[in-house]
Amino acid sequence: MNKNWKKLGALFLIVTLAAVSLSACIGGGEEETTTPPPTTTAAPTTPAPTIYNELPEDMDAEWKAYFENTDFDGDGVMYPYDQYLGRDDNDVDFAARTGGAFRTMTAEISDFDPIDVTDTASDTVVSKIFDGLVQYVPGTTDPMPAIAKAWEADEEGKVYTFYLREGLKFTNGEALTADDIVFSWNRLGNPVYASARINFLTDYVESYEAVDDYTFQVTLKTPFAPFLTLMTYTCFRVLPEDYVSSLEVVGESAEEGVDKKWLDSPVGSGAWMLKEYVPGDHLTLEANEDYWAGRPYLDEYRYRFTENDDTIVQAWKAGQIDITGVPAAYWEEFNENYADQLMTYSELATYWMYFNCESWPFDSLALRQAVTCGMERESVINTIFKGRYRAAHGALPPGMFGFSEELYDEYEFNYDAAKAKQILDDAGIVDTNDDGIREYEGRELKIELSSYVSTTWAEAAKVWLDNLKELGIEATYQQYDFGTILQMADQGEYTLLTLGWIADYPDPENFFILFESKGIPDPNSSRYNNEQVDEWIQELRTNPNTAERRDIAYNIEKQLQEDCPHWWFFHSRATAALQTCIHGYKAGAMGSHIEKQLGLWIDEDMR
C-alpha cells in the first residue's frame, strides 16, 4: 500500500475516534445538544524549491534522471536546485565575503587565445575569462556542467548532445548560442590558425553542428571514453563569434596566419573579465557581476609578472602578495615557520627519463631494466628534492583512474645495484678488457644523460653518474634549454633524457598515448613499440565500461613496468603558502591554474 494512503487512513481513524468520544459525552439524561462541526485549518505547505538548472523535457529519461539525482559539488543540493554550482549553497554569504583583491606573481602570459594556450601562466588567466561546455568540480577531476546545463550520449557513445543554458551572455552583451561554439571549434580545427591542440579535435571528432540556438551535437569518429573530460581542456573554451570574427583577418595558409586584433580586449563568458594588461609588468581581472553561477566573492584578481622564485617568496613574506609556491631552497624554512599556512596537493604528473628504445644502447631491454634498478630514486627524492614527491613506479600518477597500488607496491625494479649488475651479466653485457666499462654490441657503454636547465637536477645527476659508473657504464651530464630538450626528444638525438608529463585531461589514456607506436616520435619520444600495448590502448580509448577500462589500464601499466621504456622518477605534489587572511582557495590534481576561484575570499579587515 502507498505510504501516503496509510497516513490518510490513520488520520481518518483518529478523527473518527475523536467524534465517538465526543458523542459519548452527550447524554446523562440531560437535554440533547448539537455539537458544532470542528474548525478546520489548512495544513501548512512547503513551497517547491526553486529550479536553477532546468533540464530539457525531451532529453533521454535515463540521462535526465542522472542530472536530477546528482549533487555535483557535494553541498547536499541536487543539481536542478543548485543555485551556486561549484560552491556550497548552504555557506554562500555575499554580504560578508564580497570585496578585495587577490594578489599573486606569475610568469608573463603568452596568449589570450584559448586554442593557443599551452602554458600554465596563460591558462590561469584564460580559464577565468572563458568558459567551455564542461568544467571540473572545483578541486577535483570530476566533470560537471558549465555552459552546457546537461548532456546525453547515444548507446554506442559516439553522438553527444549538449543542451546549453539559455540567456547566457558574453561580457560584451552578446547572447551565447550554439553558433558561438561552432565558430570556436571551427577556429580550433582550421589549420590556418596552427593550434598546437588541433589534434584534440581532429583525432576524435567526426562532425559537430548547432541543432538549434541551445543545442550542440557532436559525432565522434569512434567511441572515446574520456570525451567529457577532454571537453574541459582550454582549447574548447567558447568565444563570441560576432565580436571575434569582426576583429580578426584569417589568411589563406598557416604561413599567412591570422591577425587577431581582438587579443587587445578579449571577451568571454567566464567568471572574470580583463580589466587591465600591461605587458611585462602586470594584469588585473575584475569580477563578472552577471556570472550564471553567481559572481566571485573577490572584486579583482591581480597578477604581477616575474619568474624569479626568490622575488616571489620575499614578496609573500613582506605581505605584498597572497600566495607563493615553496621552492626547494625554502622547504625547511616554510615547514618550520609557516606550517599552518601551507597547502599541499597531488598533481596528475609523472617525471621520468626517456630511454631511446630504438637506438643503441637502450634498444636492449636488459640495459633498460638494469639502469632502471641501478639508479637511486627514493634517496635522491628524500635528500636533493627534500622529500616533496612520491617515487614513481610506472606511468600513471596516484589519483588517476586506473592507478594501481598493487602494482606500485609490487614493483620489481627499485634501486638494487647488485640486481642491476646481475641483469647485465646474464645478458652478456660485460667488461671484456677490465677498464671498468662494459661493452654492448662491440661498443663500450658511454652515454650522455641530458636534462633541461635545473640546479636541482644537476645535483641529482651527480648521484646517478656514480650509480652508472658502479654498473660499468660511463656517463656524462649535459644541460640544455627546454626548447632544445624537446627538439632532441622529437628527433631521437639522445640516449637518456629527462622530461615529464602533466595530464591534459584526467584519464589514463592521456598518459598511455606516450607509449603508442603510432605516436612515434611525438608524443612517443622514447620510440617504444609493443603491439599488445597498442591494442590495449585502443581498447581503453573506446571501451565505455568502467570496470573493464580499469583492468585494461592495469595490464598496460604492468607491461610498461616490465619493458621499462622510461626510468620512472617521481609524481609531483604542489605546495603553496597562503596568507592567513585568505580563505576558500581551490587547487586540485589538475592544478590551481584551471580553477575559477569563485569561493575565494579575504578577511574584511584585509581587503
The pLDDT tens digits of the residues spanning 357-374 come to 999 999 999 999 999 999
pLDDT of residue 463: 98
* Backbone torsions φ then ψ of 150, nearest 5 degrees: -165, 165
Whole-number Å distance between alpha carbons of 444 and 520: 28
Residues 387-398: pLDDT tens digits? 999 999 999 999
pLDDT of residue 46: 61
Which band of pLDDT confidence, cut at 50, 70 and 90, is reported for residue 45? low
Task: Name the grid cell of 571.
Answer: 609524481
Q: Please write down the HEC assignment for all residues of 581-597.
A: CEECCCCCCCCHHHCCC
Do residues 203 and 320 make contact, with C-beta atoms less than 8 angstroms apart?
no
Residues 6+ apart with CB under 8 A from 49: 81
Entry field: residues in the chain: 607
Do residues 360 and 368 make contact, with C-beta atoms less than 8 angstroms apart?
no
Do residues 287 and 299 make contact, with C-beta atoms less than 8 angstroms apart?
yes
Residues 6+ apart with CB under 8 A from 376: 415, 463, 464, 467
Pairing status of strand 349-355 against strand 342-346 = unpaired
* pLDDT value at 25 more than 70: no
Instruction: Give the residue ranges of DSSP H helices in 282-364.
Output: 309-317, 331-337
Its sign, for the CA torsion 438, 440, 445, 448, is: negative
Pairing status of strand 282-287 against strand 300-305 = antiparallel
Task: Name the grid cell of 46.
Answer: 512547503
Place of cell 652478456: 428
Torsion angle (degrees, nearest 10) of CA 438, 442, 444, 446: -120
Residues 6+ apart with CB under 8 A from 185: 201, 205, 208, 236
Whole-number Å distance between alpha carbons of 207 and 228: 16
Do residues 400 and 508 make contact, with C-beta atoms less than 8 angstroms apart?
yes
Radius of gyration of the chain (CA): 30
* pLDDT value at 190 more than 70: yes
| Average pLDDT of the chain, as a whole number | 92
* pLDDT value at 30 more than 80: no
Whole-number Å distance between alpha carbons of 424 and 441: 13
Burial of 474 (0-12, 13-18, 19+ CB in 10 A): middle
pLDDT of residue 11: 28
What is the separation, in whole angstroms, between the first and last Cα of the chain? 60
Average pLDDT over residues 257-266: 97
Residues 532-545: pLDDT tens digits? 999 999 999 999 89
pLDDT of residue 578: 98
Cα 314 from chain centre: 29
Residues 208-240: pLDDT tens digits? 999 999 999 999 999 999 999 999 999 999 999
Place of cell 577532454: 230
Q: Residue 369 half-sphere exposure, CB side, CA atoms within 13 Å? A: 21
Which of 267, 98, 93 lies closest to 169 in space, CA to CA? Answer: 267
DSSP helix/strand/coil, 422? helix
Task: Name the grid cell of 20.
Answer: 465517538
Interhelix angle for 365-374 vs 417-426, to 10°? 170
For each of the domains in the chain, give its residue range(s) and CATH number, in order of start.
50-91 (no CATH), 93-130+270-342+577-582 (3.40.190.10), 131-260 (3.90.76.10), 349-571 (3.10.105.10)
* pLDDT value at 28 more than 60: no
Average pLDDT over residues 544-551: 94
Which of 469, 460, 471, 492 lies closest to 429 in space, CA to CA? Answer: 471
Place of cell 641501478: 374
* Backbone torsions φ then ψ of 516, nearest 5 degrees: -90, 130
